[in-house]
Structure formats: C-alpha cells, structure tokens
Amino acid sequence: MPAEPQEWADATAAALGAALGAAVDDGQFPGGVLVAGQIGAGRAVAACGTVAPECGAARPDEHTRYDLASLTKVLATWPLIGTAVRAGLLDLDAPLHAAFPQLPSPGRELTTAQLLSHTAGLLPRTGLARYEHTGRPLVEHLCAEPLVSAPGAHHRYVDRGFILLGLLLPDLLGHPLPALADTLWRGLGLTATAYGPLPRDPGLAPTEQRLLGAPRTWGVPHDPSAALLGGVAGHAGVFSSAADLAAYAEHLLGADGPLPQWFALSRRPRTAVEPGLHRGLAWLVTADGSVAYHHGFTGTSLYLAPRTGRYLVLCTNAVYHGWDRARLAPLRALALRSLLPGG
C-alpha cells in the first residue's frame, strides 16, 4: 500500500537527510537543505551542517538562499518562454527569424524547441569572453557561430541556447529579463527568488574561492558566463531558497492553469539522452515519464513526479571546495529513485 503523503515526505526527508549529512560530515561541502513534499499535503525539511565558515554558526534551513546555477533555466527562461508561446509571440517549431528577422545565419534557422531541448547543434563551449569589445551584440555572435551538428540530430547539453533565449526574451515581452522574471516570481509568491547581485549575509550561501587569497564568490553567480553578463542570464544567475523551490514545484504540479499546462507539454520526450532518460523542453524526463528534473552546477536539484504530485528540492553549495561531480552523485541518484514507481 502506498505511504500516506506526510509519511512519505517524512521518511524520504529522513533518508535523504542522512545521506546529505554523511556528505557534510565527510567534509565534501559545508551544508545543505532538502525538502520532500506532495501537492495538497505536507512538506518535510532536512538540513545539515552550516551555511559556510564565513557565516559563522549559521545553519541552513529552507529559507537559506543558494546560487541555483542552471536551475535558472527552469525558474526563469523556461516559464517566460511559455508566456511568450501562450501570447502567440513565439512558435516553438518555427525558425527564430520568424520572430527575429535581424538574426544572422545559421542561428536564425534554429527553433525555440531545439534550443530548449539542447538539440540545436550549438558550440558546446560557451566562452563568452571571446566576444568582449567587438562592438557587436552578443545575440548576433551566438547566432553567427558555426554549428557542430545538424539541428535536431543530437542531444548535447550546452548553455548557449538558454543564453540566447534570455537575450531574446526582452524583445519579445517588452521588459528586461530581471523585471520579467521578478513579475513571474512575485505572481507565484516566490519572495526569496531573485537575480543577483545580493548582499553578503549569513542567510546566503557562498560558493567557490577561485584563487587562494581572493574573495569567495558570494552573492554573485558562480557561473563565469553569467558573471560576464552582469549576473543576469538565461542559463544562470538566479538565487533562491528551498522553500521557494518547493512552492514553485507545487505550482508546476497543480491541476490546472498556464504553468502546469506548459509543464505537461514540456515534459513530453523530445530526444534521447541516455538509456532510460530523455530531454523534453528544458527538463530531463525518465523513460516512463514518471519524473522530470533538472540540476544546477553549484549543487542544486529540483525533482517532480507529476503522477503522484510528489517533489524533492535539494540546495547545497557543493562547489565550495571546488567542483567534483562525485560529491552529489549518490544523493542525486537516491533522490531520483525515491520518486520513481516503487521507490
């Protein structure tokens, strides 16, 4: 018999919290927080460690803010693209030049769906520094670069597509990206979610110290391309809390409305990533369609199980000691298994 919603949330938070605590005790990163919940029922929170040594004895909780890194893609760019599609301003399967005739080739022939599903064939290395001081808009540089594969032929996770979409959204929707995102988040009641820069305080987790003796990255994006763009980009730059991410998950898993409908469309498989895993529009989707999720490079994750209404949020600053993908791999795998049928 399936566990009752609160029972499931409590048991899942306890199991994942133990795994999170083991990683913190092993010195892999300072601390973190996770939320397990089910729409229409309760949530359970587990937190471990400290926010960071710079924050003294402050311990993380569901209101601690973390650098979301690539969760920006699904917290800002993806829902705003949905807004543009619903308004008839953008056709997912039309070439970009239908809405932006000024764009150069070959990028002007790409579709929004290809950019969202990471099948556009764009260069895998972002390298925005090469475009500094050229006097040419970045959006033109991104579109003028040669493709590395035929559009739609291969899945290759890159940031360029979402950077491009983030640059195009203001022209479509008539306001700067931070203003568009802020209006979206406030409408959903997400009060801790924002683009930086943010002031340093014990409720905001710092990330990496890139050079010995240099200031630690704190309140500005860890992602170098987002930093070059002033902290506001379509692929990275957003900060948020586990509580806000849980609230966002509940909006996406809702029974009706524009956002749940966009999520339902977006989690349809578009391209294979690896055995048992597909990419929809932005989201990774298990082969059986039971879970859609996305990760952030800094150590954040958001998992959604539409059939059960369950979700998991993970917020850490796992890059605090430099990045090693093995640090979070077991915890992320456990989180995914806990949402799969029979998990």
- 288-313 tens-digit pLDDT: 999 999 999 999 999 999 999 999 99
Give the distance, in angstroms, between the CA of residue 203 and the centroid of all CA atoms in the same chain. Answer: 20
pLDDT at position 339? 98
What burial letters (b/e) apply to 178-198, b meaning 16+ CB within 10 Å? bebbbebbeebebebbbbbbb
Taking 70 as the pLDDT cut, the residues of the chain under it are 1-3
CATH number of the domain located at residue range(s) 1-343 in this protein = 3.40.710.10
Numbers of helices and strands, H then E, in the chain: 11, 11
Q: Are 289 and 216 in contact (CB under 8 A)?
A: no
Give all strands of the β-sheet with 300-305 in edge-to-edge order: 43-49, 31-38, 310-316, 300-305, 292-296, 284-286, 277-279, 271-274
Angle at 243 between CA 282 and CA 179, to 5 degrees: 60
pLDDT of res. 186 = 98
CB crowding 205-225: b at 16 or more within 10 Å, else e:
bbbbbeeeeeeebbbbbbbeb
Q: For position 3, what pLDDT does the model report?
A: 64
Phi/psi of residue 38, nearest 5 degrees: -140, 135
Would you state the pLDDT for residue 5? 77
38 membership: H or E segment, kind and range: strand 31-38
Model pLDDT, residue 1: 42
* Per-residue confidence (pLDDT) for residue 218, from 0 to 100: 98
Burial class of 82 by CB neighbour count within 10 A (0 to 12, 13 to 18, 19+): buried
Structure tokens at 206: 């710092």
Q: Check: CB of residue 340 under 8 Å from CB of residue 326.
A: no
Let me know: does 22 contact 16? Beta carbons within 8 Å.
no
Quote the percentage of the chain above a pLDDT of 70. Answer: 99
